[in-house]
Amino acid sequence: MSGINSGFDMERYAIAVDLDGTLAEYHGWKGIDHIGSPIPAMVEKVHKAASAGHQIYIFTARLADESKVDKTSIEKYIWQWLKIHNIPCNGITCIKHKFFKEFWDDRAKGVVPNTGEFLHESLGCDPAYYRDELEVESSLDVQIGGDHYSKLLIQPAEYAEYNNLPSLEGAVIKYITRHQDKNGIQDLEKAKDLINMIIDMRYLEKGKNSLLKRLEGSKK
């Protein structure tokens, strides 16, 4: 048994590294006695962290398996795998210990502390990494009619969605982004129109209530 706390030194920084899909290739469950090939880039990161004096823990749901499989043999198999591939490790666990400072996990979503915000959203990254269906072509990779959006790093629809922009603002961004590749001045004019609508409806008294007034008028 590894004895999770036996090698733990409170002075040292502890990193919990997931196994399947993070440190080892994972392409679907093939049994407790199968661990995929090590992922070189992650193995390198683990070596780097260990040589910097950090503790490395394998943090894996394999040990949380509710079936009757003997936990000791599961752990033994992981230790063997680590040894064969010369990967440093201070312990194997499925417990989220409070001394873990970092979690490296292919399924984790980073969260900005005390905000309720996902890190990928505040950084404006594509959250596609987190989808289960990674093989499925993202709808954002497909564009009907032209390629002026799909060639962008961040598409207007993604930007609007992840920043919770109302539809008018989203449409302004769309026209501003595409005018050079699509309808030129016409797109810029549309953006201008939409901006004027936002000013009218959100900031000017006459515009703010115009819809309500119209609706009331139609009732009479």
Asked whether position 59 contacts Mg ion by CB under 5 A, the answer is no
Query: Closer CB to Mg ion, residue 9 or residue 65?
Result: 65
DSSP lists the bridge partners of residue 59 as 93
DSSP lists the bridge partners of residue 118 as 111
Asked whether position 17 contacts Mg ion by CB under 5 A, the answer is no
Rounded CA gap, 155 and 101, in Å?
A: 34
Query: Closer CB to Mg ion, residue 106 or residue 169?
Result: 106
Asked whether position 94 contacts Mg ion by CB under 5 A, the answer is no
Residue 21: name the closest of 94, 103, 107, 101 by CA: 107
Query: Closer CB to Mg ion, residue 58 or residue 171?
Result: 58
Q: Exposed, middle or buried: residue 82 (CB in 10 Å: 0-12, 13-18, 19+)?
A: buried
Contacts to Mg ion from residues 18-37, by CB under 5 A: 18, 20-21
Rounded CA gap, 15 and 18, in Å?
A: 10
- For Mg ion, which stretch binds (CB under 5 A), given 2-10, 13-21, 33-41, 112-120? 13-21
Asked whether position 158 contacts Mg ion by CB under 5 A, the answer is no
Number of H helices, E strands in the chain: 8, 6
Q: Which of 106, 126, 161, 169 binds Mg ion (CB under 5 A)?
A: 106
Tell me the residue nearest to Mg ion as measured from the CB: 21
Pairing between strand 111-112 and 100-104? unpaired
Smallest gap, in angstroms, from Cβ of residue 133 to Mg ion? Answer: 15
Smallest gap, in angstroms, from Cβ of residue 21 to Mg ion? Answer: 4
Q: Which stretches of the chain bind Mg ion, using CB under 5 A?
A: 18, 20-21, 106
